[in-house]
Amino acid sequence: MMNLNNPLLPGQTIGIIGGGQLGRMMALSAREMGFRVGVLDPTADCPAAQVADWHLMADYDDLDALKELAQRAQVLTYEFENVDVGALLQVEELVNIPQGTDLLAITQDRLLEKSFLEENNIVIAPYATIVSPTDIQDAIDGIGYPCVLKTTRGGYDGKGQFVLYSSSDLVPAMDLLRKGTCVLEAWIPYEKEISVLVSGNGCGAYTVFPVVENLHRNNILHETIAPARIETEVMEEAQRIARVIAEKVALAGTLAVEMFLTSNGGIYVNELAPRPHNSGHYTIEACSMSQFDAHIRGICGWPLPEVNLLSSAVMVNILGNELKETLELIPEKADWHFHYYGKAEAKPERKMGHITILSEDVFETLEEIYQTNIWD
């Protein structure tokens, strides 16, 4: 564990497990602060490798490659939560892993995550554990329709889950159960989806980012609005929840807390992501410190300042089927901040980049985005 008396210093090396866009933006922050960066990822010329000092091309759970990464770096971090915890435990004596493995293990398993949140008095949706098909009817009798069946491991962007509206949905839902133990959650009739980023430095210092509002399409984040259009007391409560979670895990680095907000102001925590998050990309331009800078500072044991929102903003994701049209916008939109991730192939639902627009009127900005006819 880093400490403020012995922080990682510029010139030393940070190893990143995962070479996607989050790893890329972590690496850019690290390079700006003067660190060397190594990346472990199986894909040649992946987004993070394009801006790193060196790239180990191997699978994430390749123990020999992880050991090499550990031996060549002073600190290890990761850009996604499906990292092999067992493999990390085998290299933790070779290198500092400030985020540890406990939070990683918790966020990899929905049951562990729910148990952790309940133990810390964080409100979550009512749920039941489904081990076999015979469990599901009893669970539905208690929870009611609609409800959501989710795999306990591996789901993201809506994958690994199925919404049940009536008994006619039971048969197709069985496909998920064949993948192993599931969780059945009550459907929360939410008004908004919101999220909060929080960063820690492993030394008891924490900084909480503004609460943002997230709009999804086909279970993939479409737009983030900063700050969220919610009451001040709701915003303060969401930030308090995020800080409590950070303190309970002695957080090092950045953590995202996704929440549902109901019409009466109730907040339900939906999911944790133990790394920078898509809904925090707006922080690069709109905040006094980006989520990536906070992550790098946090894992290196540096002090963390209070984060201020410098401007309202809207972030919109660029998926593969939208890529070409957004490139054509570049000559027209001088005040839009275009970010492209350097991915070789543009697939329809693949995140290829994002755009952040600093805004004096969020409604006007949302209309300006709509008027491009790219995101209908």
Same domain, residue pair 174 and 203: no
Band (pLDDT 50/70/90 cuts) for residue 2 is: low
- Amino acid residing at 299: I
Same domain, residue pair 227 and 353: yes
Same domain, residue pair 154 and 33: no
Instruction: Round to whole Å and give the CA distance between 310 and 119.
Output: 36
Same domain, residue pair 234 and 311: yes
Does any domain span residue 108?
no
**Lowest-confidence range among 83-92, 207-216, 222-231?**
83-92
Q: Which domain holds residue 365?
A: 190-371
Instruction: Round to whole Å and give the CA distance between 137 and 23.
Output: 42
Does any domain span residue 315?
yes
CATH number at residue 87: 3.40.50.20
Does any domain span residue 6?
no
Residues sharing a CB contact under 8 Å with residue 138, sequence separation 6 or more, in sequence order: 128
Same domain, residue pair 161 and 38: no
- Amino acid residing at 2: M
CATH number at residue 310: 3.30.470.20
Domain endpoint, select from 159, 186, 213: 186
The stretch 249-261 carries a mean pLDDT of 98
Domain endpoint, select from 150, 167, 186: 186
Does any domain span residue 236?
yes
> CB–CB of 225/213 below 8 Å?
yes
Q: Describe the crossing of helices 170-177 and 133-143 by its angle, rounded to 10 degrees.
A: 120
**What pLDDT is recorded for position 153?**
85
Does any domain span residue 119?
no
**What pLDDT is recorded for position 5?**
63
Same domain, residue pair 84 and 197: no
Same domain, residue pair 213 and 274: yes
> CB–CB of 241/269 below 8 Å?
yes
Q: What is the pTM of this model?
A: 0.95
Instruction: Round to whole Å and give the CA distance between 64 and 58.
Output: 9
Domain endpoint, select from 140, 168, 186: 186
Q: Is 88 a residue whose pLDDT tops 70? A: yes
**3-state percent breakdown (helix, strand, coil) of the chain, nearest 5:** 35, 30, 40
**What pLDDT is recorded for position 302?**
97
- Amino acid residing at 113: E
Q: Is 101 a residue whose pLDDT tops 80? A: yes
User: What tens digit of pLDDT does each residue of 134-155 get?
Assistant: 888 889 999 999 999 998 887 6
Does any domain span residue 61?
yes
Cis peptide before 227 (omega within 30 of 0): yes
Instruction: Round to whole Å and give the CA distance between 275 and 281.
Output: 12
Q: Is 1 a residue whose pLDDT tops 60? A: no
Average pLDDT over the chain reads: 94
**What pLDDT is recorded for position 177?**
81
Same domain, residue pair 223 and 357: yes
* Residues of the chain above pLDDT 90, percent: 87
Q: How many domains does the chain have?
A: 3
Same domain, residue pair 207 and 320: yes
Structure tokens at 102: 């406990």
Instruction: Round to whole Å and give the CA distance between 304 and 201.
Output: 7
Does any domain span residue 241?
yes
Same domain, residue pair 211 and 82: no
Cis peptide before 146 (omega within 30 of 0): yes
Same domain, residue pair 194 and 169: no
Same domain, residue pair 216 and 300: yes
| Nearest C-alpha neighbor of 84 from the set 96, 73, 67 | 67
The conformation of residue 265, written as its DSSP 8-state character, comes to S
Does any domain span residue 334?
yes
The stretch 248-270 carries a mean pLDDT of 97
CATH number at residue 149: 3.30.1490.20
Residues in the chain: 376
User: What tens digit of pLDDT does each residue of 147-202 get?
Assistant: 999 988 876 656 778 899 998 888 888 888 888 889 999 999 999 999 999 999 99
Neighbouring C-beta atoms of residue 343, cutoff 10 Å = 21
